[in-house]
Structure formats: C-alpha cells, structure tokens
Structure 1
Amino acid sequence: MKIILKTEELAEACEIFARHDYVAVDTEFLRETTFWPQLCLIQLSGPDLDAIVDPLAPGIDLAPFFKLMADASVTKVFHAARQDIEIIFNRGGLIPHPIFDTQVAAMVCGFGDSASYDTLVQRIVNVQLDKSSRFTDWSHRPLSEKQLDYAIADVTHLKDVYLHLKGELEREGRTEWLAEEMSVLESRETYDLHPDDAWQRLRMRVRKPIELAILKNIAAWREREARSRDVPRGRVLKDDAVFEIAQQQPKDTEALARLRTIPKGYERSQNGAAILGAVNAALAIPKADLPRIPRSGSAPEGSGAAVEMLKVLLKLIAEKNGVASKIIASGDDLDAIASKGEEAEVAALHGWRRELFGEPALKLIQGEMALRFVNRKVDVVEFSLAAE
C-alpha cells in the first residue's frame, strides 16, 4: 500500500492505474459541520497498485486524480457511488465515466435490496471486514496503521467483488441493465441541484399556493446561504422554521419575532431581513401566477386492490429472475401503474424493467393475466387459461 502525499507521486500512481481497464475507488469525508463534503482520503486500487491519497497534504494538487476519473478507457468501480461522485463533481467539476456501482450491480444479480459492502465482501470474497474504525475522524492527522488498513480494504476487496459481479452480469445477459442504471449516476443533473429546486428536498407540509410560493423562496435563499457559507442547511434555518414561515407569512420584524421556531434576535439580523424579503416577494406574486400544490389526485376505485396484486406479481418476478424487487419497481411505481396504467410515467414501464415487469403488470391490471394459488404457491397465468 502506497501513501501519496505529493502531486508527483499522485501523477505516477495515476499513470499506473490508467494502464488497466478498471480501478476501484472510494473516498472518506466529513460533512457534519459543512455544506460541501470535506474530502479527507482517496483510496485507489488496481491490478498493480493499492494507494491512499491524502487530499489534506500541504501543496498536493488532485489534477492527476481527476484526469484518471475522466479517462473513458478506465472503468471506475465504486460501491454506493452517489456520495463519492458528488465529492468528485464538487471538487473536480466532472463526473467519472464510465462507472460501475457494485451495490446496484448486486441488486441486478440477486443479492437483495441495497446490499452493503461488508455483506458483498463476506458473501463473494469470504472475508469478514474489521468495522472498528468505521467512525473515524478522517480529518485527523496522523492516521494510525489500523485506520489506513481499514480504509484501503474498502477498495482492495472491491476489485474482487467487481470482477465477480461483472462476470455474473455477462453470464445472465444483464450488462445493459446495469448500463441503464449507471446513466442516472453519470448524469450531471443528479448532483447539480439548482437552489430554486431546493424546496423539493422538503416533505410537503403546505396546503395553499401562497404557502408554497413562500416555501420555494425561503428554501432557495437558505440553499444559497448555506452554500456560500459552507455550512449545513440547518445551521442557516431549520426545516421546521421554513414551514412555519411559509404558513404564518410574516411581513415585518415584529411578526417574524413572534414565530416559535425563530431564535431570539434573529429578526433583526441580516438573515431576518433576507427572510422578510423572500416572504414579501412571494406575497407580491399575482394570484393567477402562484405555483400549484403538487397533488397525486384521488386513486381510482379498485386501485388499492390492484396495488396489492402488483406487489405479489413483483415479488414473484423478482424471485424468479434473481433481481432485487427494489430496483425493478418502487411503491410509487406500483401506485402509478394501478391508477394510470400505460399512462404512468414511471421507470418500471421503460427499458429492461418494462420487459421484465412492466408488461406483465399492465396485463394483470387489464385483466389479461391472473394470479392463482396452486399447490401452496402463487403462480401467474394468462387470462385465457384462468378463464378455463
């Protein structure tokens, strides 16, 4: 294992990694006190080299690492890649390509819903990982040998997991299934959330268009403020305060001061003035231009029973094909199919999911397919057979 503290060492290591068609990647980071994750370690492993990069080393330039991440000839292997890619996107301005997420691949290969790295290493490599350093403060220096060993194990075994799952996908003819999933992880929109869309992170607790307009303005202001100060959103304003402001609609400092969720004196601060500006800007919107409250609409009669049948069908298909049900269709997918049928805009009616589950699901709710209980097992039959 090589510990990399200098740019020159990093460039040499990345040249070695680039000679092969894959590299296993992991990161360690902290984000409890910041908006942007603080990158503390980068672990890399390939056929010829295992290395830990210290991004906190004085003077180190991560440009060679970002160049490797952008090299289209090298597959970047992650486990549960989203947060790692978010860090690379924020620090390097790029999204690694191509990528292979072993957690997603494991779901496609029948290892259950969202299998952990520890579970896959145990089941595939037959190694029990030491978890005692899991809650390390990775920003602390120096790191112990035990901590470094723990960190590098996140990529050394990842190579074996990757090769096994890659082989499984090829044998089952499911390589393209994974490619569809990776396209979402490689999309810039997955990580580049616009502040004006920050309200979508919040659980909907407003009932009127004017409340939603205020909620959107306050959430966007909080997002920009948290980013500029590099602090968690809750340090700027708690979620409960965002909702109370939207519902109570304070127009001046006195009204803002009366809110239960606003700290004493906050109304006289620069943030208080910004909040009041956001509220009053929303209140000035003409009624006809106010945003509509997102509504799912009332479910058609009988759709509840249809959802229950779809759940049974999903379980049958998932078990038969050795694919985690979670990756085939979500509960929201089932609700939408039961209510809207072919018109449902859900992932389960597109790509490989449609072939595997979407088409049978549509046949089931259209009465062209039936479920029956035979010999203590639930089975699926075409309508013509069921009618007999």
Structure 2
Amino acid sequence: MPRRIEYPAPAFITDTDSLAALCDRLRTEPFVTVDTEFMRERTYYPELCVVQLGGERESAVIDTMAAGLDLAPLGALLRDEAVLKVFHAARQDIEIFLELFGSVPIPLFDTQVAAMVAGFGDQVGYDALVAALTGGQIDKAHRFSDWSARPLSPAQVTYAAADVTHLHTAYLRLRERLEREGRSDWVLEEMQVLTRPETYRADPDTMWERLRPRTANRRMLGVLRAAAAWREREAQRVNIPRQRLLRDENLLEVAATAPVNAEALARCRGITRGFAEGRSGVGLLTAIAAATAMPEDDLPEAPRGREGPRASPALVSLLKVLLAAKCEQHDVAPKLVASSDDIDRLATESEPDVPALKGWRRGVFGDDALALKTGRVALGVAGKRIKLIPSEP
C-alpha cells in the first residue's frame, strides 16, 4: 500500500509569478489533487475564494481574491491532459472551473464516485473516506469559515491544504484497490459524465419541469415555462440564487394567475410592489405576455408518465432485493448501479434503455434482473445471504 506522505508547510500563493512557478512544477507530475473553498449563499454563481493544489511533495493554497492575481496558469494546468486532476465530490468544483476557464478539467478522477464503486457506500463523505483509507483525521474547525473574508488566518490555510494532502494518499490507496479488484474501467465510465460541460449547465427552457406542476392545462404550463426560464436568466444576470429572486411556490402561483400588469403581479404571494414595478417585474410580465399569446400548438405538453401498465409493486420489491443482494456480493453502492426509475422500467419493459443494462452495471445486476423477471432464475436464501437459483426448464 502507498505510504502516507509527510508534507512541508503549504505555500500561500498571492501573486501570478508564484502561481505560474507552482503550476509549472505540478505539470511534471502524473496527477495533482484539487479542492476549492467558495461561497454561494448570496450568489447564483459560486464565488471562488481559495484553490488548493497538492503534488507529490508539496501543497499550496491559492488566494484567488488576491489583488492582481492572474489565474491563467491554473487554467493551463487544469487543461493539461497529461496531468490527472483528482477531486472528491467534484461537481461544484468543476462547475466553478467551467465558468472561470470555459472548459472542464480533463482528465479527472472523483474519489467519491470511485469509493462508491469500491464498496464504501452511497456518497461517502470525505472525512470517512480519508479515515478508512489513510487513518488520518480531518480538522473540522474551519469547515464553516467565511472564506471570502480577508486576511485568511494561518489556521485556515493549514486546514485548506489538508484537504489536498490527505486526498493524495487516499487516491493512491483507492486506485490500488480498484486495480486489484479489476474495477478501474468502471470508474472511467463514470468519469465520462463528469467531463461533459452540459452536466453543469442548466437549460433555462427546461427548468419548469423540475417544479413538477400538477396540471394538464397547457396554457398554464406555457406561462410556467416562460416564467421559470425568465427566472433562471434573471438570476444569472443579477447573480443571486434563483430561490432568492422568486421562490418555486411563487412561480407556480404566477403561472396559475398569469398577471397582465404590475398591480396584478404584486397581488401574487411573495411578490412585493417594488419587485412588480421594477426591472425584474417588467421582464417577468413580458415573458408572461409572450406565453399568453403563444399559439396552442407551441405550448408544452403536461409531463407524462411512462406508457403501458404500472409496475407490479411485488416485482419492484423483488428487483430491489436482487439489487441489494448483487451489490452486497460485489461490494458496490446500490445507488450507483440502478436508480428507482431503472427498477420501475425493468419491471414494466422487456429491455428498457436504462443505465442498469449498460456497461459494468449489466454484469453486476442487469443480466440477472432480466433473468429474474423472465423466470429463468429465482431468489433463495443460503445461510444469511440471498442467492440466485436457476429455474428448471
């Protein structure tokens, strides 16, 4: 097993020359560990405050808010395809870098996803993974720091650097485990989703679907679609969280009432007269008016359930038992193998187009699920475990 590395004190980077020199050194290494500290409570886009980088023998904390600091060398490192970028729970970090540099860091490795493949459970936390793989303990004292406040304290810098130094050893040990168990290719399949830019970019025109409207009224759905798209773009423009601009329940009421002027808009729950009469209110009313005038054929259809008969609850339960048993056998997180939607479709369709029937998931669970529902195998008990029993012809 790779031994745990003792690192010197982290470098604290506040100028472009030091950052460039650091990134030049790290670009000679096979992989670099990466983490960020950011604030998002008051903004639509994450406000990047700190970036942490870890190499084989050094770590650094970059003050991204330092005056005059050019982050271009960091962008070049993240784009360098010769250097693997290792994250834990990477999605928000990648979203930040995509917005900042216009591209997803590649290649990349997410230890949280890899840990699910390696049997550490669903969405294992960083603290637990580090403890399991390295025996190290993460200092939680500064977890809820205001990372936008300056100056950063020495204790904050030390805390931030620990995230990437522990991650270095955790990655090596996790990689060794995956290679030993022949699962490295499984993780590569999962990384394909994380490297797609569309994974991180919300489509304003489909945001209404997340609200799960309980109506078949296409005109109301058209207004809701227009209002939700307006909210997303307006939240981006003024850089505030969408729920702070207009909450979901208020958006649904706007769609139901379709106000035609500021006075009517101000009567909607959660909308102030100042909002209704201001620039945002004018923009929302314009979107509503356009949806109200839209031809019937251009209005959205009510979200539909899947065609065909409803899934048998008993069969769904049986497939879930099989999923749990197969994941226990292979020591992999069930959530990663098949979703509830996968199970429902397996119960109602002959061979649905679902992730559970593709790639490594099919070998772990999918083929046996098809065999179970067609009666080619049955479930039994051997000791304290579920086993598959071939059915007699």
Please say whether Structure 1 and Structure 2 have the same fold, judged by a TM-score greater than 0.5.
Answer: yes
State the AA in 1 paired with 2:37: E
Q: Indicate if the aligned counterparts of 1:75 and 1:98 stay in contact, CA closer than 8 A.
A: yes
Distance between the aligned counterparts of 2:203 and 2:25, measured in 1?
37
Distance between the aligned counterparts of 1:128 and 1:207, measured in 2?
53
Tell me the residue number matched to 1:350. Answer: 358
- How big is each residue's C-alpha offset from its partner over 1:12-46, in whole Å with a ceiling of 9 and x where there is no partner? 00011111100000000001111111100000001
Residues 221-300 of structure 1: pairs in structure 2 closer than 5 A = 221-297=230-306, 300=309
Q: Indicate if the aligned counterparts of 1:16 and 1:48 stay in contact, CA closer than 8 A.
A: no
Distance between the aligned counterparts of 2:357 and 2:382, measured in 1?
29
SS at match of 2:349: helix
Q: Indicate if the aligned counterparts of 2:263 and 2:273 stay in contact, CA closer than 8 A.
A: no
Change in Cα spacing, 1:280 to 1:189, as seen in structure 2 (3 Å) is: same
SS at match of 1:135: coil
Q: Indicate if the aligned counterparts of 1:17 and 1:49 stay in contact, CA closer than 8 A.
A: no
Distance between the aligned counterparts of 1:301 and 1:114, measured in 2?
30
Unaligned stretches of 5+ residues in structure 1: none
TM-aligned CA deviation for residue 266 of structure 1: 3.0
Aligned length: 384
Residues 56-205 of structure 1: pairs in structure 2 closer than 5 A = 56-205=65-214
Distance between the aligned counterparts of 2:342 and 2:143, measured in 1?
35
Select 2:326's aligned residue among 303, 317, 326: 317
Distance between the aligned counterparts of 1:265 and 1:289, measured in 2?
32
TM-aligned CA deviation for residue 261 of structure 1: 2.6
TM-aligned CA deviation for residue 197 of structure 1: 2.6
State the AA in 2 paired with 1:367: G
Q: Quick one: percent identity of the two aligned structures?
A: 47
Select 2:348's aligned residue among 324, 339, 346: 339
Distance between the aligned counterparts of 1:277 and 1:3, measured in 2?
49
Tell me the residue number matched to 2:22. Answer: 13
Distance between the aligned counterparts of 1:273 and 1:112, measured in 2?
49
SS at match of 2:123: coil
Q: Indicate if the aligned counterparts of 2:325 and 2:385 stay in contact, CA closer than 8 A.
A: no
Change in Cα spacing, 1:66 to 1:200, as seen in structure 2 (3 Å) is: farther
SS at match of 1:341: coil
Tell me the residue number matched to 2:38. Answer: 29
Distance between the aligned counterparts of 1:290 and 1:104, measured in 2?
39
Distance between the aligned counterparts of 1:200 and 1:266, measured in 2?
25
Distance between the aligned counterparts of 1:241 and 1:129, measured in 2?
41
Q: Indicate if the aligned counterparts of 2:355 and 2:361 stay in contact, CA closer than 8 A.
A: yes
TM-aligned CA deviation for residue 375 of structure 1: 4.0
- How big is each residue's C-alpha offset from its partner over 1:63-83, in whole Å with a ceiling of 9 and x where there is no partner? 000100000010000000000
Q: Indicate if the aligned counterparts of 2:119 and 2:331 stay in contact, CA closer than 8 A.
A: yes
TM-aligned CA deviation for residue 374 of structure 1: 4.3
Q: Indicate if the aligned counterparts of 1:124 and 1:164 stay in contact, CA closer than 8 A.
A: yes
Tell me the residue number matched to 1:382. Answer: 390
2:370 is the alignment partner of 1:362: yes
TM-aligned CA deviation for residue 234 of structure 1: 2.2
TM-aligned CA deviation for residue 205 of structure 1: 4.2
Q: Indicate if the aligned counterparts of 1:206 and 1:247 stay in contact, CA closer than 8 A.
A: no
- How big is each residue's C-alpha offset from its partner over 1:190-213, in whole Å with a ceiling of 9 and x where there is no partner? 122232233244344444222221
Distance between the aligned counterparts of 2:227 and 2:310, measured in 1?
38
Q: Indicate if the aligned counterparts of 1:107 and 1:115 stay in contact, CA closer than 8 A.
A: yes
Tell me the residue number matched to 1:46. Answer: 55
Tell me the residue number matched to 2:381. Answer: 373
Q: Indicate if the aligned counterparts of 2:275 and 2:281 stay in contact, CA closer than 8 A.
A: yes
SS at match of 2:276: helix
TM-score for both structures, normalised by structure 1: 0.95
State the AA in 2 paired with 1:348: A
Distance between the aligned counterparts of 2:309 and 2:333, measured in 1?
29
Q: Which moved more, 1:59-68 or 1:364-373?
A: 364-373
Distance between the aligned counterparts of 1:167 and 1:280, measured in 2?
59
TM-score for both structures, normalised by structure 2: 0.94
State the AA in 1 paired with 2:325: L
Q: Which moved more, 1:277-286 or 1:215-224?
A: 277-286
